[in-house]
């Protein structure tokens, strides 16, 4: 019975995708006399937490009920008051928790508060599922860096564009719609300058259902050559545009970009490139907890080389285009020995009409040669 109610809490938590960043996704269910009497979830950053939302939605007095929540109730004052205190004040008799708060500064304190108040606490129900749901928050709060997803789409023979550079469209409509769902979930999307020059994308979210939200749009441009008329700069959107560049950026060009509302981050790295490690630190300071990398082969290689990629999502379309000079998802000079290959673990495969999506997590990311 614990599992079924916790599964419902996890389902509710997912309704907050893309709206709670950098807070976690949390859902809550209150059960009394074998019936669900209240449900709630964290809808947006700064809004009521899941437990409080459930209290507000209660059909009857929650005193004596059992609260199911997929993450340990908070015990500190942040943007909102501590939920553990609210639970105690509502005279809840039992709290069932999927996972403890991963924040090392607060982990376990909420549970301790509840137990000291005489409330029965059960932990670890559907813990694996809860951790996967909040993998972004776990990385962000423990490593103080955004969770990076490298997304690519390629043909069956491993090409991301034809020899002429044509890349529209490798994957099918269903796959592309799912990518926009991902954009709607993450805090930011990142591409390299070559993608801007070749494809001139807007990097916005376009969904046929629900409310679309554009992620912060980040362009890696070491030399500062991005055209002022680029769509990513000029398209109407509430989301910010960040240009990650170096001191090679022309002063006059910088002023024009700032006038356009572009935020400039100058991060000099080796050989005149943008320092991606420093960029991750800066994005953390901006409370950007997640990043969808939709770069070309060069930027993907650099990201893997610097060890910033956490998860890889590759769409494979049943098409063959050939061409020894056609672009591939990861370029650079590559790794010489198979035993040094970057390996993925926890692999899953999902079908989107004719396409297949392979997902996995980077394991022991070794350096790619440049």
* Positions marked active-site: 51
Burial class (CB in 10 A: 0-12, 13-18, 19+), 300: buried
Q: Residue 227 and residue 94: Cα distance in Å, rounded?
A: 59
Annotated binding site for substrate: 167, 183, 203, 206, 294
| 320: phi then psi, degrees, rounded to nearest 5 | -130, 125
Mapping DSSP to helix (H, G, I), strand (E, B) and coil, where does residue 188 land? strand
Q: Residue 309 and residue 347: Cα distance in Å, rounded?
A: 15
What are the structure tokens assigned to 116, written together?
A: 């000291």
| 314: phi then psi, degrees, rounded to nearest 5 | -120, 120
In the numeric block, the tokens 């990398």 are attached to: 293
Annotated binding site: 49, 74, 83, 153, 167, 169, 183, 195, 199, 203, 206, 222, 294, 296-302
Q: Residue 74 and residue 137: Cα distance in Å, rounded?
A: 14
Max distance between CA atoms of the chain, in angstroms, equals 69
CB 102 within 8 A of CB 74: no
Angle between helices 50-57 and 2-13 (to 10 degrees): 100
Annotated binding site for NADP(+): 153, 169, 195, 199, 222, 296-302
Mapping DSSP to helix (H, G, I), strand (E, B) and coil, where does residue 274 land? strand
CA contacts within 13 A on the Cβ side of 223: 5
Q: What angle do CA 113, 114, 120 make, to 5 degrees?
A: 150
Note every long-range contact of 211-214, with CB atoms under 8 Å and residues 24 or more positions apart, other chains counting. Answer: 212/180, 212/184, 213/18, 213/19, 213/184, 213/239, 214/183, 214/238, 214/239
């Amino acid at each position: 019975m614990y599992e079924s109610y916790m599964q419902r809490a996890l389902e509710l938590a997912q309704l907050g995708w893309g709206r709670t960043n950098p807070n976690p996704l949390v859902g809550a269910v209150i059960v009394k006399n074998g019936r669900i009497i209240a449900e709630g979830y964290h809808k947006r950053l700064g809004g009521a937490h899941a437990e409080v939302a459930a209290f507000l939605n209660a059909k009857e007095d929650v005193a004596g009920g059992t609260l199911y929540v997929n993450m340990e109730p908070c015990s500190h004052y942040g943007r909102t008051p501590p939920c553990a205190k609210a639970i105690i004040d509502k005279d809840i008799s039992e709290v069932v928790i999927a996972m403890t708060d991963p924040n090392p500064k607060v982990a376990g304190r909420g549970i301790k508060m509840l137990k000291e108040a005489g409330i029965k606490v059960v932990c670890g129900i559907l813990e694996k599922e809860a951790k996967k749901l909040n993998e972004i928050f776990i990385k962000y709060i423990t490593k103080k860096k955004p969770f990076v997803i490298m997304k690519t789409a390629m043909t069956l023979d491993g090409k991301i564009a034809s020899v002429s550079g044509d890349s529209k469209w490798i994957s099918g409509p269903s796959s592309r719609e799912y990518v926009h769902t991902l954009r709607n979930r993450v805090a930011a999307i990142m591409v390299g300058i070559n993608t801007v020059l070749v494809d001139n994308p807007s990097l916005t979210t376009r969904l046929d259902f629900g409310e679309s939200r554009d992620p912060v749009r980040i362009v890696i441009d070491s030399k500062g050559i991005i055209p002022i008329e680029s769509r990513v700069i000029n398209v109407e959107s509430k989301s910010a545009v960040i240009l990650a560049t170096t001191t090679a950026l022309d002063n006059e060009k910088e002023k024009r970009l700032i006038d356009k509302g572009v935020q400039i981050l100058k991060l000099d790295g080796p050989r005149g490139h943008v320092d991606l490690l420093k960029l991750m630190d800066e994005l953390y300071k901006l409370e950007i907890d997640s990043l969808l990398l939709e770069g070309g082969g060069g930027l993907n290689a650099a990201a893997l080389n610097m060890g910033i990629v956490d998860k890889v999502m590759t769409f494979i379309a049943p098409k063959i285009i050939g061409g020894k000079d056609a672009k591939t998802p990861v370029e650079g000079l590559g790794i010489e020995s198979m035993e040094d290959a970057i390996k993925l673990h926890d692999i899953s495969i999902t079908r989107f009409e004719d396409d297949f999506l392979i997902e996995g997590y980077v394991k022991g990311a070794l350096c790619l040669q440049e």
